[in-house]
Amino acid sequence: MTAAKHKILIVDDEPLNVELLSVYLGEDEYDIVTSYNGKDALEKVKTEHPDLILLDVMMPEMDGYDVCRVIRNEFKMDFIPIIMVTALTDKADHQRGIDAGADEFLKKPVGKFELDKKITSLLRIKEQHDTLLTEKNKAYQYLDYVGVLVAVLDLDHKIVHINKKGSDFLGYSSADLLGMEWVDSFIPYDLAGDIHDHYNKLVSGTEKAYEYYEFPVIISTGEERLYRWYDSPLLDDSGSTVGILVSGEDITERKEAELQLKEYAAELKRSNDLKDLFTDVMRHDLLNPAGLIRSFVELLLEMESDESKKRLLSNVNHSTEKLISMIEDAAHLAKLESVDDINFVRIDIASMLKDTIDSFMHQAGEKGMDIRLDLKDDSHAIANPMIERVFVNLLSNSIKYSPEGSIVTIDVVGHGDKLKISFTDQGDGIPDPSKSAVFDRFKRLHKDDIRGTGIGLAIVKRIMDLHKEDIGVTDNPEGRGSVFWLTLKKGSL
């Protein structure tokens, strides 16, 4: 199949010049369009959509500078390279051409070699520009298919892009939303100051992106809708922050349904049938689509070469991984809630803790952290093997919420007929008013000072309840951080 030829518009009021340039270019190599005055040239630009323009400067009525200026400033078209062909050699004339939007200059009489070289160079640049534009449009199309509001804010918190789903959610057209100040336009007044402050800290790097958080937005009808948000800074190739990517999911109905589900579950005394149904929905109706999203995003990441779009896709992939983890945790918690009795065996807690630490060495190494295990007593206990899930969750949280280069210490100490196992971190700690609610899934959702979803610690609490053992959290007595502790019955022979 023969490749389409590039189309070149030649504009000159001298027919001999037009004919000479046409001969130089060759009709076999290029699709040539001709024009003999400025006004006609502008019409040809709109109707013929040339890939490149050879434009004479000195023409009656409308000179090349005016033609170039109109194309650049008034025509809403993609990039078209413009080469000005002129007998003028003064630097001021060239500067006029640059100001008007010309890309290159050729001095009359034009040489064939120089003409070919400049045309080839500019057409290559146009092809690269067109490719980038196509890829950019594809990226925006991907965002339009995502079922959440996705918007890009500049450093002044103004909307520079929003996907179609987002404009539909808010009840405005995309054109109306562009340039609007996001916080002052859509966030309730009593929350606007905190959100402005969060975005400014995010841009300056003094605050990391929230994992997830909730606050309402005001849509076009005046109604407040509750959204679940994830924010991340957008960086350029040099690592400087150039904007903020915000993505939010409308959870208004979900929140209402969650409250109704809680009331219903209480009325039915947490019936096993309801939990089985909930677990099945989590594992099949939610986990399978989330897995498909992850697979497609990973495929797009492998295919994508543009770093800015790869960062966007990486954000989607990171959020999807968190979603899958939450679904699996929620399904596991539902299963645990339906269990009343468990079996117990004699377990070597030291060996289990060492295996747990080994599984987190890579994650700890990435943050330059050290994990220390201090055994002060016989390490055997009477427990169910699911106790390993408690160790995994507590160590995962200790690493996740501790600063780089810090230490996590795991102590095993005997207290009478019990073992006390403690996980001590050097993170931000937990305020005293929140300590009593930290293991409660439903209460944690409404605590601004506690990070994460709470499902992992709810699983920990349920497993310890099944063991009929204690678990709690205190401040790190040696400084910043928390101590999560639990007890198990000794299993000494």
- The CA R_g of the chain, rounded to the nearest whole Å, is 32
pLDDT at position 327, please? 66
Task: Enter the pTM of the model.
Answer: 0.41
On whether the 146-250 domain is CATH 3.40.50.2000, my answer is no
Superfamily of domain 345-490 in the CATH hierarchy: Histidine kinase-like ATPase, C-terminal domain (3.30.565.10)
Tokens of 59: 């023409």
CA distances to 132, 136, 139, 304, 319 from 308, in Å: 12, 10, 10, 10, 17
pLDDT at position 407, please? 93
Contact 381, 419 (CB under 8 A): yes
pLDDT at position 125, please? 80
Q: What are phi and psi of 155, to 5 degrees?
A: -70, -15
pLDDT at position 281, please? 61
Beta bridge partners of 235: 241
pLDDT in tens, the chain (493 residues): 456 788 999 899 888 888 888 888 887 888 899 999 989 989 998 898 898 989 888 888 889 889 888 888 877 666 788 888 887 767 787 788 888 888 888 888 888 888 888 888 888 887 777 666 656 555 555 445 556 788 889 999 999 988 888 888 899 998 899 999 999 999 999 999 999 998 888 888 887 776 677 889 999 999 999 988 888 888 887 888 888 888 888 888 878 877 777 776 566 555 555 556 556 665 556 666 766 777 877 888 788 788 888 788 777 777 776 676 666 666 666 677 667 788 899 999 999 999 999 989 998 999 999 999 998 777 899 999 889 989 988 998 899 889 999 999 999 998 889 999 999 999 888 888 888 788 876 554 333 444 444 578 888 898 889 999 999 999 998 888 999 999 999 987 6
3-state secondary structure of 113: helix
Tokens of 390: 């408690």
Contact 6, 52 (CB under 8 A): yes
Give the neighbor-by-neighbor strand order of the sheet with 213-218: 159-162, 149-153, 241-250, 224-235, 213-218
Fold annotation for 7-141: Rossmann fold (3.40.50)
